[in-house]
Amino acid sequence: MEKSIEDIWKTGFLDSKALVAPRVNDLYTRKSEHIVEKFKRMFHFNLTAIAIGGILGFAGLLLMQLPLTAFVMATVLAVVYIVNKRVLNGLENVDKSQSCYAYLQAFDSWMHEQIALNARMAKIYYPAIFLGTVLGIWFSPHGPFLYGWLAGAPGNGWVINGIPGVLMIPILFMAALLWYFGDRLYRMELNAFYGRVLNKLDELLADMDKLRKDTMT
Amino acid sequence: MSSDFYTAFILPYAGIIIKLCRAYTNTQEDFEDYYQEVCLQIWKSRNNFRKESSWSTWVYRLSLNVCLTLLKKHKRSKEHFASDYLPEIAVEESQAFDNEALNQLYQAIRQLSEIDRGVILLYLEEKSYQEIADITGTNANNIGVRIQRIKLRLRKLLDGKIN
């Protein structure tokens, strides 16, 4: 006679060994590894995108007859790439043999250091890219278009190193703004790209901290 | 999580969690991950328990939700590599319990839809239709019909395998 589903269920679980709970330990180890690996992959992808974008951008800007812009852009991206590549290599030195809490804390401090470094760099590269773009256009074959456009502007007779003062003031003002807000712009960019991972890291650390405190009490 | 909390509030209900986690996982590794995640979520959400239901019902609901969430996450990360995981499933899913008939039943349960798995487990645990509806978020009026349909499906899947 066929056993009913209910019978299979009941008799199957009569044996107490069927319901032995697995040991609850190292709750966060896999989560920690997963989040660090995910971040590394994203960081690596971002660096590759910078390298490819830099090369294509350089070629494209040269084709557009903007050599100064191409040079500034390529220099900025090369510096960003090299610095961040070194920073990423530094992540390999974080000791993986320690507890996952210590590992995540080490990762978190690495993360804060690299964010602070990139935020400082952003204060320089945002204005540099802006100045490179504007001055690159000014000193390129497209420059005469701007000369003509500025010809009617008041005070266009005031010239500094070949650039009209009427153009120089807003350019410098904008560059100053980019310098001032550079780190904030970088952090906005960072949040758009890595926001979820960073939030997850904070959440994980907060959980682990709570878990440790609860275990100690 | 203190060991006191685990011993007093989770361990007595470990059977419920194990039965549920087994229905949503195919490998021992995944099972242990799901079990640990459920325990962790119970501990993290313990202050949300409002005593509107029994602790066991609350544990059931939370375990089911955690399993469904993890399953979704798993599906997303594995869907492009499904073929890589097939041999692992075939080997491990028949080894979870010593009882062969129970293993076959679990194998059949795993072939049901995600919600149907939860519904049949709750039915087998002798929960009332109302409780099943509350926990799975389905309509209590249809639970009876649904259970009959699931049992029929399971019977077909088991047919010829268990006498």
- Name the residue ranges covered by the structural domains of chain B: 1-94, 95-162
Between B90 and B98, name the one with better pLDDT.
B98
> Is A22 in Cβ contact with B31 (below 8 Å)?
yes
Q: What is the pLDDT of residue B80?
A: 46
Q: What is the pLDDT of residue B79?
A: 53
Q: What is the pLDDT of residue A45?
A: 92
* Tokens read off for A210: 């709570």
Backbone angles phi, psi at A2, to 5 degrees: -70, 135
Q: Does residue A2 lie in a domain region?
A: no
Confidence class for position B49, pLDDT limits 50, 70, 90: confident
Q: Touching check for B155 and chain A: CB below 8 Å?
A: yes
Q: What is the pLDDT of residue B2?
A: 62
ipTM of the complex: 0.80
Mean per-residue pLDDT of chain A: 83
CA distances from A160 to A164, A168, B89 (A): 6, 8, 74
Question: What are B21-44's pLDDT values in tens digits?
Answer: 999 988 888 888 888 889 888 888
Question: What are A93-127's pLDDT values in tens digits?
Answer: 777 777 777 888 888 888 999 999 999 999 999 99
Q: Does residue A56 lie in a domain region?
A: yes
> Is A207 in Cβ contact with B101 (below 8 Å)?
no
Confidence class for position A40, pLDDT limits 50, 70, 90: confident
Q: What is the pLDDT of residue B87?
A: 42
Average pLDDT over residues B124-130: 89
**Is 70 exceeded by the pLDDT of residue A25?**
no
Q: How far is B102 from chain A (nearest CA, A)?
A: 5
Confidence class for position A59, pLDDT limits 50, 70, 90: very high
> Is B163 in Cβ contact with A19 (below 8 Å)?
no
Q: What is the pLDDT of residue A1?
A: 53
Between A217 and A104, name the one with better pLDDT.
A104
Q: Where are the beta strands (DSSP E) in chain A?
A: 159-160, 163-164
- Candidates B100, B34, B28, B26; CA nearest to B68 is B34
Number of inter-chain CB pairs under 8 A, A vs B:
75
CATH code that applies to domain B1-94: 1.10.1740.10
Residues 10-29 of A with CB under 8 A from B: 11-13, 15, 17-19, 21-22, 24, 27
Chain B nearest-CA residue for A209: B1
Rounded to whole angstroms, how far apart are CA atoms A89 and B27?
Answer: 35
CATH code that applies to domain B95-162: 1.10.10.10
Contact residues, chain A, for B43 at CB < 8 Å? 211, 214
Average pLDDT over residues B150-160: 87
Q: Does residue A5 lie in a domain region?
A: no
> How do the residues of chain B divide into helix, strand and coil, expressed in percent and rounded to 5?
80, 0, 20
Chain A nearest-CA residue for B11: A21
State the Rg of chain A over Cα. Answer: 28
> Is A207 in Cβ contact with B15 (below 8 Å)?
no
Q: What is the pLDDT of residue B161?
A: 60
Listed range (A24-38, A69-83, B64-78) with the worst mean pLDDT: A24-38
Q: Does residue A7 lie in a domain region?
A: no
> Is B39 in Cβ contact with A18 (below 8 Å)?
no
Rounded to whole angstroms, how far apart are CA atoms A184 and A186?
Answer: 5
Average pLDDT over residues A140-161: 68
* Tokens read off for B105: 């039943």
Range of the structural domain that residue A70 is part of: 21-216
Average pLDDT over residues A40-56: 92
Average pLDDT over residues B117-138: 88
Backbone angles phi, psi at A94, to 5 degrees: -65, 130
User: Three-state SS for A160?
Assistant: strand
Confidence class for position B160, pLDDT limits 50, 70, 90: low
Confidence class for position B3, pLDDT limits 50, 70, 90: low
Q: How far is A85 from chain B (nearest CA, A)?
A: 27
Name every residue whose Cβ is closer than 8 Å to that of residue A45 and which is 6 or more positions away in sequence.
none
Q: How far is B14 from chain A (nearest CA, A)?
A: 6
Q: Does residue A4 lie in a domain region?
A: no
Q: A72 near A60, Cβ under 8 Å?
A: no
Q: How far is A55 from chain B (nearest CA, A)?
A: 32
Rounded to whole angstroms, how far apart are CA atoms B88 and A65?
Answer: 58
Domains in chain A, number: 1
Q: What is the pLDDT of residue A77?
A: 94
Q: A81 near A40, Cβ under 8 Å?
A: no
Q: What is the pLDDT of residue B74?
A: 74
Q: Touching check for B4 and chain A: CB below 8 Å?
A: no
Q: Touching check for B152 and chain A: CB below 8 Å?
A: no
Contact residues, chain B, for A8 at CB < 8 Å? 101-102, 104-105, 162
**Is 50 exceeded by the pLDDT of residue B91?**
no
> Is B101 in Cβ contact with A3 (below 8 Å)?
yes
Q: A140 near A72, Cβ under 8 Å?
A: no
Contact residues, chain B, for A214 at CB < 8 Å? 1-2, 5, 43
**Is 50 exceeded by the pLDDT of residue B90?**
no
In percent, how much of chain A has pLDDT > 90? 36
Q: What is the pLDDT of residue A173?
A: 93
Rounded to whole angstroms, how far apart are CA atoms A10 and A15?
Answer: 10
The answer for A125, left when phi > 0, alpha when psi is -120 to 50, beta otherwise, is alpha
Q: Touching check for A211 and chain B: CB below 8 Å?
A: yes
Q: Does residue A13 lie in a domain region?
A: no
Average pLDDT over residues A4-32: 75
Q: What is the pLDDT of residue A154?
A: 63
**Is 80 exceeded by the pLDDT of residue B85?**
no
Q: Touching check for A192 and chain B: CB below 8 Å?
A: no
Between A19 and A188, name the one with better pLDDT.
A188
Rounded to whole angstroms, how far apart are CA atoms A214 and B12?
Answer: 20
pTM of the predicted structure, to 2 decimals? 0.60
Listed range (A120-129, A196-205, B3-12, B65-74) with the worst mean pLDDT: B3-12
Out of A18, A21, A24, the one facing B98 most closely (by C-beta) is: A18
**Is 70 exceeded by the pLDDT of residue A156?**
no
